[in-house]
Amino acid sequence: MSREDSLEGTGWPEFFEKGVLLILCGKTGWREVEIGCGSTDATCPVAALEAWLKFARIV
């Protein structure tokens, strides 16, 4: 997916083994935010994002 293809031009996540890279469009332009995995699934922001995307049926 590219910046031009993103849903409504607001951004998208890219999942990796050690975390997720969020590509976001804000007032000042595009930016990338890295988020690392937590020590357990209960405290992992990446697992929470994956679960939310799954339950919301967002592909």
**Secondary structure (3-state) at 46:** helix
pTM attached to this predicted model: 0.73
Longest Cα separation, the chain: 35
Q: What are 9-55's pLDDT values in tens digits?
A: 688 999 999 999 999 998 888 999 999 999 998 999 999 999 999 99
Q: How confident is the model at residue 8 (pLDDT cuts 50, 70, 90)?
A: low
User: How many Å apart are CA 50 and CA 48, to the nearest integer?
Assistant: 5
